[in-house]
Structure 1
Amino acid sequence: MFRRLFWLVAGIAIGTWGTTKVNRAARKLTPEGIAETAVGRAADLGGQVRRFAQDVRTGMAEREAELKKTPGRTGRDYHRGFPAAPDQALPGQRSGNAYNRKDDH
């Protein structure tokens, strides 16, 4: 008797679980379910784009701070990418004004 009762309860539990799974899968295939999935994925993509943009802004700010600390770059010359004075060189560059040197010609 207990054996039959056990199998009855097990069958009901498995049937309920299976029905729930089938209903969820069928719901995802309806137009409303597809729309919900698309909206969820679009929201995830939007969040990823926002995080990427924030990372880019942070990186730009860090790089700009590094460049501003570089000797010889001040004021408007910093934004144009040239040293502040022709006789000052950035690290890795030759000193002096390389464009007006007569021995290079």
Structure 2
Amino acid sequence: MFRRAFWFTTGAAAGVWATAKVQRKLRSLAPDALAVRAADKAVQGGHRLKDFALDVRAGMAQREGELNDALGLGATPDPYEADASRALPTQASRPQLGSVQHRQGPGRSHDRNEDH
């Protein structure tokens, strides 16, 4: 009698466990659950990619410093500091906006519609 009750409860427990496991698996394969899981994986991948890019950038800066030290260049030049070869033209060297002479004959006025 106890033997039958033992096997009955063991079978019932196994059936409940298997049913719960199957139900969990079905819920995890539902379209909503798959979309949430895919979104989470995409976010995790983005974070990993960002961390990788930051590591690469830090490694590049470190290596650039090592190369500058090895070549004796010292500090890197400021990209916003213009030198003589890349300097912008000064006010005196730029042509004035009003200095352009129109080629008009004597006594003719300029008509804008003639240009178009």
TM-score by length of 1: 0.61
List structure 1 segments (4+ residues) > 2 angstroms apart after TM superposition.
Answer: 74-77
Aligned residues of 2:28 and 2:34 also touching (Cα < 8 A): yes
Change over 3 Å in CA distance of 1:7–1:69 after alignment to 2: same
User: What's the offset of the Cα at 1:19?
Assistant: 1.1
More helix by share: 1
Match of 1:47 in 2: 47
Describe the superposition over 1:61-99 as per-residue Cα deviations: whole angstroms up to 9, x where unpaired.
Answer: 21122122113324567x8xxxxxxxxxxxxxxxxxxxx
Superposed counterparts of 1:61-100, under 5 Å: 61-74=61-74
The letter of the residue matching 2:48 is Q
Aligned-residue identity in percent: 44
Contact 2:68/2:75 (<8 A) preserved: no
Partner in structure 1 of residue 14 of structure 2: 14
- Matches of 1:35 and 1:24 in 2, distance apart? 16
Structure scoring higher RCO (CA < 8 A, sep ≥ 6) equals 1
1:49 CA displacement: 0.8
Q: Give the distance between the partners of 1:27 and 1:73, measured in 2 at CA.
A: 63
Deviations, residues 28-86 of structure 1 (Å, cap 9, x unaligned): 22221111221221122122212211221221121122122113324567x8xxxxxxx
Q: 1:30 — aligned with what?
A: 30
1:29/1:75 CA distance change after superposition, 3 Å: closer
Number of residue pairs aligned between Structure 1 and Structure 2: 78
Structure 1 portions without partners, runs of 5+: 80-105
Q: Which of these two proteins has the greater Rg computed from alpha carbons? A: 2
Secondary structure, aligned partner of 2:71: coil
Instruction: Give me the TM-score of the superposition, normalised by structure 2.
Output: 0.56
RMSD, matched Cα: 2.2
